Chains A and B, each alone.
Chain A
Amino acid sequence: MKNENLYNYILGIADNSLILGQRMGELCGHGPSLETDIACTNISLDLFGQVRSYFQYASKIAGDGRTEDDIAMLRKEREYKNVLLAEQPNTDFAYTIGRQFLFDVYHLAFLRELQKSTDLTLSAIANKCIKEVSYHERFSSDWVKRLGDGTEESHQKMQNAIDDLWTYTDELFHQTEADKAMVAEGIGVDVTKLKEAYYKNVSELLEEATLKVPDLKYFQKGGKEGVHTEHMGYLLTDLQYMQRAYPNMEW
């Protein structure tokens, strides 16, 4: 492939939305209330819509006949490039909200920079996505505040979720080889530059929610290189079920 770095770079961005979208979609019919159920599946739908734009572009770059569906459904676990944070399970509603919040703050900052990409397709996708992600970020930060500053129990559950998920935040700011190559060409976003503002913004909101900012020195990483947590295999089994059971079936 001529543009392998660009292809991998797009997959790196898109896989975050795909896997997080799958996690949010799991709540369809299982949300804690009708309104939150609908909200989570709406967010899932936005993320899947964004994924389609990215994968359609990636399929064009690959130029070998593989379609957006092939890219989404037919890769093996090690070929998915999403961050570990995105694949963490819906342990309880506080984990769902915590995961979404920790990702949304990053996602918004990332898209703001991607809008400036010299690649016009990526810039247009970012321009579109940013409007949707602003709503996601409002929703998730609102809930972090509501649960954190709620009852004793909701506070404790929200704190547990943040404490557990914190170890996956640093990976958001790691650069892969494809990232570095794309930054050098003015196409990609230098994520290392987003780190300081991210922790500042997240910490401010956690404090407002009366939550403690975790003091952690060791962080998990690997997703961007395809090395995932044990949860990923189970997630893909669900995601890929139809294509594995009935190859080439169409909706």
Chain B
Amino acid sequence: MTTTEQNIDTILLSILEKVSDPEIPVLSIMDMGVVRSAVIIDNVVKVEITPTYSGCPAMDVIGDDIKKALKEAGYNAEVDLILHPAWTTDWITPRGRKALENYGIAAPLDAEADKDVLLNGKRIVKCPQCKSTNTKLVSQFGSTACKAQFQCDDCQEPFDYFKCLK
């Protein structure tokens, strides 16, 4: 019953890839995995997006940005917010993970490792600056709903870790 497959019309792909997450501008919404379907029906593009977190204020902006980008490409679009199946950090593409790291945000670990890090203080999150794993959790909650605060004990830089959501 649960399908995690995306249904994206190939001609829309390059347009949607240019829309970025307003809070993490280096990440396209396609790499984020929030677009679940985009199909052209009777000359109107129907897009379905799913929120990362329920209270994510970026979702309204993302919806507007999608409509704008498609409008510029000559399409009228309708954007629907869907909750099922729920978004998971597994949907962030490898390219997206790389973009996060380059931007200074540690990419999510798998669920078990995430638990070890956030609950048991295990030092395995890699510092996006100096690549050391000698890092410690500062707070389970960070600057946005999806991140936790860390600090590197080698280079002393504070950084964000993208929490695993499964």
Contacts and interface: CB of A to CB of B under 8 A. Distances in A.
B22 interface: no
Interface string A30-50: 000001101100110111111
A124 B55 contact: no
A46 B55 contact: yes
A129 interface: yes
Interface residues of A, number: 28
Contacts, number: 73
A146 B79 CA distance: 45
B139 A129 contact: no
Contact of B140 (A120, A123, A131, A138): A138
Contacts of A135: 140-141, 163
B84 A131 contact: no
A132 interface: yes
Contacts of A128: 51, 54, 83-84, 86-87
Nearest to B118: A138
Interface of B: 51, 53-57, 83-87, 118-119, 138-143, 145, 149, 163, 165-166
Interface of A: 35-36, 38-39, 42-43, 45-50, 52-53, 120-121, 123-125, 127-129, 131-132, 135, 138-139, 142
26 contacts: A35-B139, A38-B139, A38-B141, A38-B142, A38-B149, A39-B139, A45-B53, A46-B145, A48-B55, A49-B51, A49-B55, A49-B56, A50-B54, A50-B55, A52-B55, A125-B83, A127-B83, A127-B85, A128-B54, A128-B84, A128-B86, A131-B166, A135-B140, A138-B119, A139-B140, A142-B119
